[in-house]
Structure 1
Amino acid sequence: MAVEEKVDYHNGKRELTPLAAVEEEKRLVRKIDRAILPITCLLYLLAYLDRSNLGNARLQGLPEEILGGDPKGLLYEWVFSAFYFSYANPIPGTSYRALKAFPSILLDSHYGDWMGNLFYFTNLMLTVLQASAFNLGGIIVCRIGLGVFEAGFGPAIPVYFSLFYTKNELGLRLGYWFGFAAIAGAFGGLIAFGVQSVHFGPNSESDWKLLFLIEGIPAILLGVVTWFALPNRPEATHLFNERERELALERGARGTTADIGLVINRRHIIAALTDWRILACGTIYFGVNCALASISAFLPTIIKTFGYTNALAQLLTVPPYVVGAIVLCMTAYATDRLQSRGLAIASSCAAGAIGYLLVVLVPSNMHVRYFAVFLITSGTYTAIGVIIAWCSETKKAAGIPMFMAIGQCGSVLGANIYPASDGPRYLRGFTITCALMAWATVCAVILYVSYKRDNKRRDELYGKPDPDATVDTSELADKAPMFRYIP
């Protein structure tokens, strides 16, 4: 039912009634959603598709053509992990604009947006150039380039979203965004199945080269759209009129005002480096990223060991990814409504650990093993999607890159614990990842309890804060007296 907007005039100023103000804010959020979510979600889908398609290409002849057959699987592991060596950037600090690699983050402040977009387009071109690689050195150079130019993507998006969304809205939006990583896995399996099933003729390129081209070219086209369509900061974008800009800035200051403008508080960087909670978040992220890299690199290969053909193994990767995306979005919605994330992360990590345990303990029942894959994908993607929102609430520009840098080291590990010589059971990889997911469960529970106790202590000392009141965290970050964690 439509709500009639009423306007009161007091001292010559236009003031909305509470009911009209709520409707006005809802209209603004819908406008922001329409402008930001489609582009950023599609960008992550294509970026993750280009990052993880190596796992599909492994079953399409890539090792045989440019890795000399790679009987032990060690060269493939080096190729896959080359991306993460350059992607895991340990320097705290990130851009407030999305979709720029770390070098562009530094250059952007001096040379403007065009420099950041130049780096982004370089990343897209490297994606397509993978198809032209003809030896080990060529493919590794392309993968390292992908990591260098994509390094700012993950840290930038949570900060970028936090400029437009309140903490009550952030978890669901980040859940949607990261859910497209799971959808990318599903699309990757479908595209790989299609490429392997269609015969293009004796003179056509290899299947794995066609896969890189088919998945890389749309990213370039979307990059052109992004250059012009993605909104800038609320105070600078042309998306808003003056009233919308005023409301957007008020929403951005609701609950917290930390690193503002284009400046990062150096004291927040030091505090982030010594904050055990950010290190704990990094430990959780390390474990789930190890699982995620394993899934991206080896899921088609692992499903093939269940006794399926290469093409069918590609197709059977689709349902686990789809279920993982659905579970992630449902969990993100619930954590936003309940304003609690720790137990959801712990439950997701536990589900992933159980999935790996089933794969280890039930070697002969392929139905149980395939069900375990659903637990692994659902638990891993959900845990990552929710923990990004959880750790985006404190020391934003300083803390996010730090915990993400720790986590990406887990990706390097995950890419190197499934050598072909361990097949078909891959006990080493499964047990390591199972243990890391179990430890991540413990860390999530510890953080949940710590946040609950800290909130209770501050309530006793300073009283309960108004959830909509502005909390100045520009100096003390999350140590400000009226700041409260989401447990």
Structure 2
Amino acid sequence: MKIVLRTEERRLVRRLDGRILPLACLLYLFAYLDRSNLGNARLQGLPQDILNGDPTGVLFDWITSAFYFSYIICQIPATIVSKLVPPHYWLAGAAVGWGLSSTLMSTAFNFGGLFTARVFLGIFEAGFGPGIPLYFSLFYTREEMGLRMAYWFGFAAVSGAFGGLIAFGISMSNVTIAHWRLLLIVEGVPTIILGIISFFSLPNRPEVTHLFNSRERELAIARMNRSASGDVGNVVNKAHIWMAFRDWRIYTGGVIYFGLNCALASISAFLPTIIQTFGNTAAVAQLLTVPPYAVSAVVLTLFSYASDRLQTRGCFMAVASTIGAIGYLLLLTVSSNNHVRYFATFCITSGTYTTIGLIIAWFAHNLGSETKRATGIPMFMAIGQCGSVLGSHIFPETEGPEYTKGFAISCALEFLAAICAIILHFSYRLENKRRNICYGIPDYNVRVDTSEVADKAPDFRYVT
């Protein structure tokens, strides 16, 4: 009987992977292209065309930050409200919205127009970024979540490589429209198309979707309730919202995410510029951004696979974040060897992207209920996105090519993230041990009722 059940479950997971992962990954690919394409647009003449040259780089920094202001403010309310709306409606609407915003950036003729478009880009993406981990947790178990999050978030790294190739191709084209405007159009329009496809293709919640037959629905619901079962469906448990706001671990996760996003924002917006300081032309610098992103996608997948198999996240996060910090340390201490400095960019992208993918998977199953996840995930993400605002202001043109301040701040924050990951790891381990002593070791396949106290339920166990 168990063999038959495992076979049915594997078949169901393959079907879910075939339906959910391709669209979710492609949407995230274009989400990151749309939010980070300013780095390449900068090298294609955007400041000269509409920012009066921007000799200090301050105006460009504020346009980069505009996305994060609205993204931070809207994340928590958007994700809580998303529980009241069918997921495929919500995710498709968000995609069409940010696709339009990104495409309309190409029509801007001054600072105000570009700033406004970036604000709306942040509003719509706020409904997507934290919503996907919540959506995945409806279909995937804790043993499957890390690798699926790696596939999904890995496309943020792929977007860096893909964006560099697109930018290089456009820079070589002979067109009448400004290259940076064409870049924004080419990377914005596909998102709108994908959003429309998602409306018809992404499955709704397991208990109501038409994707499943009766047996598949029964199995999918059992999987969803395996480690926790609480406020299922289009409901919001207000008590769990306040529990999330009182959970110190979420704030510690926010500190980790803050450091990582400071580095991520720096990478997204300034990596082409940093590589250009090695003595490359703008076109070659855009092309050389591809390998670091490609390698980081592979490292993220390998770390996440091992994390799923061992059911531990904190140690892998600490190692990955330390790798990122070492990359910044190399940029700070090695100023004359461009080969070493280029190797450092591989360390930074691999360490940063890997740690972010793992922490999203970590909290997707450690918060106990849908409402606490819908509150807690955007909470630590919102705290973390404040790091993105910082990251977009610590690489001013006037400090190039050394960028000592930016590299030093990012290095320190990556080391801080590693320390916080170790703290969370041992905190979860000690709590699991305490519950095992007090309440006994629970049967993994038995439904855990988390409707009252979410992850504080006696039989709930954390991923460490």
Does the CA-based 8 Å contact 2:38-2:269 persist in structure 1?
yes
Does the CA-based 8 Å contact 2:92-2:196 persist in structure 1?
no
Does the CA-based 8 Å contact 1:87-1:150 persist in structure 2?
yes
Q: CA deviation at 1:165?
A: 0.6
Q: CA deviation at 1:91?
A: 6.3
| Paired position in structure 2 for 1:305 | 277
| Paired position in structure 1 for 2:158 | 183
Q: CA deviation at 1:221?
A: 1.5
| Paired position in structure 2 for 1:235 | 207
Distance 1:382-1:118 versus aligned 2 partners, 3 A rule:
closer
Does the CA-based 8 Å contact 1:174-1:385 persist in structure 2?
yes
State whether structure 2 residue 35 is matched by structure 1 residue 22. no
Q: CA deviation at 1:438?
A: 0.7
> Which whole-Å CA distance do the structure 1 matches of 2:423 and 2:280 have between them?
41
Structure-to-structure mapping, 1:51-66, within 5 angstroms: 51-66=35-50
- Matched positions, count: 459
> Which whole-Å CA distance do the structure 2 matches of 1:453 and 1:171 have between them?
22
Does the CA-based 8 Å contact 2:300-2:350 persist in structure 1?
yes
For the residue of structure 1 that corresponds to 2:449, the secondary structure is coil
Does the CA-based 8 Å contact 2:88-2:202 persist in structure 1?
no
For the residue of structure 1 that corresponds to 2:169, the secondary structure is helix
| Paired position in structure 1 for 2:343 | 371
Of 163-172 and 260-269, more deviation after overlay is shown by 260-269
| Paired position in structure 1 for 2:289 | 317
Q: Which amino acid aligns with 1:432?
A: I
> Which whole-Å CA distance do the structure 2 matches of 1:246 and 1:71 have between them?
61
Could you tell me which of 397, 403, 424 is aligned with 2:380?
403
State whether structure 2 residue 230 is matched by structure 1 residue 261. no
| Paired position in structure 2 for 1:430 | 407
Please report the RMSD computed on the Cα atoms of aligned residues, expressed in angstroms. Answer: 1.6
Q: Which amino acid aligns with 1:197?
A: M
> Which whole-Å CA distance do the structure 2 matches of 1:68 and 1:56 have between them?
18
Structure-to-structure mapping, 1:40-79, within 5 angstroms: 40-79=24-63
| Paired position in structure 1 for 2:97 | 122
Does the CA-based 8 Å contact 1:55-1:299 persist in structure 2?
yes
> Which whole-Å CA distance do the structure 2 matches of 1:486 and 1:39 have between them?
27
Q: Which amino acid aligns with 1:364?
A: S
| Paired position in structure 1 for 2:312 | 340
Does the CA-based 8 Å contact 1:196-1:207 persist in structure 2?
yes
State whether structure 2 residue 129 is matched by structure 1 residue 166. no
> Which whole-Å CA distance do the structure 1 matches of 2:153 and 2:329 have between them?
25
Distance 1:339-1:118 versus aligned 2 partners, 3 A rule:
closer
> Which whole-Å CA distance do the structure 2 matches of 1:285 and 1:118 have between them?
26
Q: CA deviation at 1:26?
A: 0.7
Does the CA-based 8 Å contact 1:255-1:483 persist in structure 2?
yes
State whether structure 2 residue 134 is matched by structure 1 residue 134. no
Does the CA-based 8 Å contact 1:90-1:402 persist in structure 2?
no
Distance 1:92-1:51 versus aligned 2 partners, 3 A rule:
closer
Of 21-30 and 84-93, more deviation after overlay is shown by 84-93
Q: CA deviation at 1:93?
A: 5.0
Q: CA deviation at 1:116?
A: 6.8
**% same residue:** 58
Q: CA deviation at 1:123?
A: 2.0
Does the CA-based 8 Å contact 2:330-2:344 persist in structure 1?
yes
For the residue of structure 1 that corresponds to 2:229, the secondary structure is coil
Does the CA-based 8 Å contact 1:343-1:448 persist in structure 2?
yes
Distance 1:462-1:380 versus aligned 2 partners, 3 A rule:
same
> Which whole-Å CA distance do the structure 2 matches of 1:36 and 1:421 have between them?
45
Does the CA-based 8 Å contact 2:91-2:198 persist in structure 1?
no
> Which whole-Å CA distance do the structure 2 matches of 1:270 and 1:349 have between them?
30
Does the CA-based 8 Å contact 1:94-1:398 persist in structure 2?
no
- Please, which runs of 5 or more residues in structure 1 have no aligned partner? 1-16, 97-101
> Which whole-Å CA distance do the structure 1 matches of 2:285 and 2:190 have between them?
25
> Which whole-Å CA distance do the structure 2 matches of 1:189 and 1:57 have between them?
11
> Which whole-Å CA distance do the structure 2 matches of 1:267 and 1:396 have between them?
13
| TM-score when normalising by structure 1 | 0.92
Of 389-398 and 244-253, more deviation after overlay is shown by 389-398
Q: CA deviation at 1:117?
A: 4.5
Q: Which amino acid aligns with 1:340?
A: T
Does the CA-based 8 Å contact 2:226-2:448 persist in structure 1?
yes
Does the CA-based 8 Å contact 1:189-1:317 persist in structure 2?
yes
Could you tell me which of 183, 195, 199 is aligned with 1:211?
183
Q: CA deviation at 1:215?
A: 1.0
> Which whole-Å CA distance do the structure 1 matches of 2:2 and 2:27 have between them?
37
State whether structure 2 residue 302 is matched by structure 1 residue 330. yes
Alignment deviations for residues 344-401 of structure 1 (CA, whole Å, 9 cap, x no partner): 1111110111100100000111011000000000000000000001111213122111
> Which whole-Å CA distance do the structure 1 matches of 2:295 and 2:153 have between them?
14
> Which whole-Å CA distance do the structure 2 matches of 1:252 and 1:360 have between them?
47
Q: Which amino acid aligns with 1:411?
A: S
